[in-house]
Amino acid sequence: MADLRTGFTGLAAALLAAAPSVSAETPPALTYAFTVRVELAPPVEQGEIDGGRRRFVPITGGTVTGPRLNGTVLNGGGDWQTIHPGGFTRVEARYFLKAADGTVIGIHNPGMRVASPEVSERIARGETVDPSSYYFRSAPVFDPPPGKHQWLREKIFVGRGIRMPDHVLIQFYIVE
C-alpha cells in the first residue's frame, strides 16, 4: 500500500512540475466578441414588491455586430427588473439572437446595474444618462444548437451594458 501512495505522490508532483506556470496576479484576459443592440418597448410597471420596484421591459428586436457574431435580436424576449432603494437594480433578461446564417441562439443574461438613486430614477424615466455614471454588468449564458455556434456554449462571457432611452447596448467579452 505504501508503494501505491508513493507512486501517486510522485505522479502528482510530476504533473504539477509539468503544468504551465500561471501567476495568481495575472488575471484572465478579455476578448471582445460582439455588441448587441436590444430595442425596447415601454416598461410594464408591476409596482413595489418585497421592497423593490418590479417591472418588465419587452424586447422588440435589435442587431448583433462584431468580429465573432453578426445577426439580429428576435422580437419577443424581455428583461425582468427589480429596482431597489439606493440605486441597485437586478436584471434578468431572456431573448433570442438570430445569427446571419439563420441559427437561432438563446441567451439568458442576468446582471446588475448600480447607480446613485438620482441616476437610477433618470434611467427608469427613459432619460439619456452618461454610462460612466453607473455600473452595468452581466454574466450571459448562450444556448446555441450544436454546430457552428457551439463556441458560445463553451466560453464564459461578461457583458458591459449601456442604457439608452429606447435601447440597450451590450458589449460581450470572452473571458480567456
What is the count of structural domains for the chain? 1
Report in angstroms the alpha-carbon separations of 161 from 10, 28, 52, 124, 128.
49, 20, 21, 15, 13
Phi, then psi, of 51 in degrees rounded to 5: 80, 5
Determine, yes or no, domain membership for 4: no
Q: pLDDT per residue over 94-108, tens digit each? A: 999 999 999 999 999
Q: pLDDT per residue over 98-139, tens digit each? A: 999 999 999 999 999 999 988 988 887 888 999 999 999 999
Determine, yes or no, domain membership for 73: yes
Domain around 71:
29-175
Mean pLDDT of 30-46: 96
| pLDDT for 85 | 87
Contact of 38 with 62, CB cutoff 8 Å: yes
Q: What is the mean pLDDT of the chain?
A: 90
- What CATH number does residue 164 fall under? 2.40.160.20
Nearest CA-CA partner of 162 in 137, 127, 143: 137
**Entry pTM:** 0.83
Determine, yes or no, domain membership for 21: no
With left for phi above 0 and alpha for psi between -120 and 50, is residue 86 left, alpha or beta?
A: left
Q: Is the pLDDT at 53 greater than 90, yes or no?
A: yes
Given the C-alpha cell 410597471, which residue does it identify? 45
